[in-house]
C-alpha cells in the first residue's frame, strides 16, 4: 500500500463521510447488477443515521483507510460480530494499490483479538466482486449460486483464518 495512507477505526461522528467513498463505487460497479429494490435498500442503509445506528451496537466496527496529507477517507471495511464483512469499498481510482488488502489484513488482526475462537471470516460478495475476493484469499461457499435478499444479489464466500506466530 502507498505510504500516504493510514488505517484506523471509524469514529461514530464520521458516518456521513462513508457515503463519499461508497456511493460512487456502488453506483459504478454494483448498482448495475442490482434490482431497483436492492439499490434503494442499499442506499437507505448507507444513510448516516443508519450507519450511526449500526455502530451503536457493540457487534460492528468499521476500519477506514485515509490519506495522511488531506485526511480523506479512501476505503472502508465494516465487520459484524468480528466475523462477517458487511461493507468493503475502495475509491475507484485507487483500486489495485493494496488499500483493500491492507484494510483486510488489519481487519483480520482485529477479529483475531476480539474473537479468539475465530475460524473464518465470511462475506456476501456482490457477484462482480467475487474475483477480487478470490485474490484476497476467499473461497466460495457451497455451489456458489447467486442468491438474492431484499434485492441485493450476492455469493457467499469465506476466508479461513490461520492462527500462528
68 within a domain of the structure (yes/no): yes
Name 68's Cβ contacts closer than 8 Å, sequence gap at least 6.
4, 5, 6
Q: Could you give the CA distance from residue 111 to residue 161 in angstroms, rounded to a whole number? A: 10
Q: How far apart are CA 127 and CA 145, in angstroms?
A: 10
> Does the reported pTM lie above 0.95?
no
Spell 97-121 as b/e; 16+ CB within 10 A means b. Answer: bebbebbbebbbebbeeeeeebeeb
Are the C-beta atoms of residues 74 and 5 closer than 8 Å to each other? yes
Whether 10 is covered by a domain: the verdict is yes
pLDDT of residue 1: 47
Predicted pLDDT at 130: 97
Tell me whether residue 126 is in a domain: no
72 assigned to some structural domain: yes
Instruction: Decide if 55 is inside a domain.
Output: yes
Question: Domain count of the chain?
Answer: 1
Predicted pLDDT of residue 3: 55
Of 62, 110, 112, 117, which is closest to residue 86 (Cα–Cα)? 62
Cβ(42)–Cβ(58) below 8 Å: no
As given in the structure block, the three cell numbers for residue 67 are: 490519506
pLDDT tens string, the chain, 165 residues long: the values are 445 899 999 988 888 899 899 999 999 999 999 999 999 999 999 999 998 888 877 688 999 999 987 678 999 999 999 999 999 999 999 999 999 999 999 999 999 999 889 999 999 999 999 999 999 999 999 888 999 999 999 999 999 998 764
Boundaries of domain holding 62? 5-116
Residue 147: inside a domain, yes or no?
A: no
CATH number, domain at 63? 3.40.630.30
Q: Does a structural domain hold residue 157?
A: no
State how beta strands 152-160 and 120-125 pair: antiparallel
User: Is 16 inside a domain boundary?
Assistant: yes
Beta carbons of 8 and 64 less than 8 angstroms apart: yes
Angle, in degrees to the nearest 10, between helices 18-25 and 36-46: 170
Pairing mode of beta strands 152-160, 84-90: unpaired
Amino acid at each position: 500500500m502507498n505510504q500516504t495512507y493510514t488505517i484506523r477505526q471509524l469514529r461514530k461522528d464520521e458516518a456521513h463521510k462513508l457515503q463519499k467513498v461508497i456511493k460512487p463505487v456502488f453506483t459504478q460497479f454494483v448498482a448495475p447488477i442490482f434490482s431497483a429494490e436492492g439499490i434503494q435498500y442499499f442506499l437507505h442503509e448507507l444513510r448516516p443515521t443508519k450507519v450511526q445506528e449500526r455502530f451503536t451496537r457493540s457487534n460492528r466496527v468499521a476500519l477506514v483507510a485515509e490519506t495522511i496529507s488531506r485526511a480523506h477517507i479512501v476505503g472502508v471495511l465494516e465487520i459484524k460480530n468480528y466475523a462477517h464483512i458487511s461493507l468493503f469499498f475502495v475509491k475507484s481510482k485507487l483500486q489495485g494499490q493494496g488499500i483493500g488488502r491492507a484494510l483486510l489484513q488489519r481487519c483480520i488482526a482485529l477479529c483475531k483479538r476480539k474473537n479468539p475462537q475465530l475460524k473464518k471470516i465470511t462475506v456476501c460478495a456482490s457477484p462482480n466482486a467475487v474475483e477480487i475476493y478470490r485474490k484476497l484469499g476467499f473461497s466460495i461457499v457451497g455451489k456458489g449460486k447467486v442468491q438474492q435478499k431484499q434485492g441485493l444479489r450476492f455469493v457467499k464466500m469465506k476466508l479461513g483464518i490461520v492462527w500462528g506466530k
